[in-house]
Amino acid sequence: MLRLDCHSEILSTISQMYRLLTRADFHSLYKCFLDAFSDYQVDMQMSEEQFQQRVGRDRVELESSVGAFDNGRMIGFYMNGRGVWEGNETAYDAGTGVVRDYRRHGVAKEMFDFMVPRLKERGIIQYLLEVLTSNERAVALYRKLGFEEVRRLAVLRSKQMVETSGDVKRVTFRRLEEPDWDVFCAYWDGKPSWQSSIDAVESVRNQREIVGAFADEKCVGYGIVHQPSGLLMQLAVAPEFRRRGIGRGILVTLSGKEILKINNVDEELKGTLAFFKANGFEIVLRQFEMKKLL
């Protein structure tokens, strides 16, 4: 494997090899993703089918994503989702990586500089991303590129199934075919992250499970899980029905025989975090949500 130790030398090697991706690049992107994240703090190894599910959930648009190539081999990428965020056309960083032999040579910054004008040509006016707070090098790069911290997000995991506390009086749990967003949104205490937004839920229509909690035929709570990954995308209970075991009942109904995963809960939502901790989840990672106007 070629190793280049000079910043200018590596950039001259690939400076003409940045380009937007196409559907034909999907397999190469998958292989580069595995390579770039092989030493990441979180286990990111997955099958190509799982990768395809992730790409779909995050609304990745390959034509708005960028790859860096050396002698035909993809050695870095910005994998971009696209959608509307806070009323603005937005690109979302669904994954940025550079393979180990090409790191610390400015490849990520060069890719970003190449990418921005092309995103603007496509009508995108802001860029959104999440980055581990412990990844100091990446955080420093994004701040240097002009990103500002929006909020802090918590990633939670559990080592055991959620235990049921028995039947909840006068409340039934049943699966729903479609979300009732007018009802559901009224129960939110805060805004979901990109991966758990309404648009994300709608983008996985065939891969989601929705459970509603009903009291006298009124929906008083709900939860949504992305079935392939076991990712809990949303859960909320009407304020006047909280602390009655309804949230736990929703978790139990959704989990089935698997342990759910919870990503990117706003750390300002103290009550939400307390609920998950009471049900066996612990914060394992923290992330900055960052944004930049292009």
The answer to whether residues 211 and 255 touch, using CB atoms and an 8 Å cutoff, is no
Give tens-digit pLDDT for 198-237. 999 999 999 999 999 999 999 999 999 999 899 999 999 9
| Region 156-287: CATH code | 3.40.630.30
6 pLDDT exceeds 80?
no
The answer to whether residues 292 and 145 touch, using CB atoms and an 8 Å cutoff, is yes
80 pLDDT exceeds 80?
yes
Going by pLDDT thresholds of 50, 70 and 90, the confidence category of residue 164 is confident
The Cβ-side half-sphere exposure at 163, using a 13 Å CA radius, reads 6
7 pLDDT exceeds 50?
no
Give tens-digit pLDDT for 98-142. 999 998 888 999 999 999 999 999 999 999 999 999 999 899 999
Domains 7-124 and 156-287 share a fold: yes
First-residue to last-residue Cα distance in the chain: 36
Q: What are phi and psi of 221, to 5 degrees?
A: 180, 160
Amino acid, single-letter form, for residue 103: R
Give tens-digit pLDDT for 265-290. 999 999 999 999 999 999 999 999 99
Give tens-digit pLDDT for 12-56. 454 458 999 999 999 999 999 999 999 887 778 999 999 999 999
Going by pLDDT thresholds of 50, 70 and 90, the confidence category of residue 161 is confident
For the chain, what are the domain ranges? Answer: 7-124, 156-287
Query: What would the DSSP string read from start to end of 151-169?
Result: EEEEEEE-SSPPPP--PPT
Q: What is the CA radius of gyration of the chain?
A: 21
Superfamily for domain range 7-124: Gcn5-related N-acetyltransferase (GNAT) (3.40.630.30)
Instruction: List strand residue ranges (DSSP E) for the chain, in order.
Output: 18-20, 66-70, 73-85, 88-98, 126-132, 148-157, 172-176, 208-215, 218-226, 231-237, 261-266, 282-293
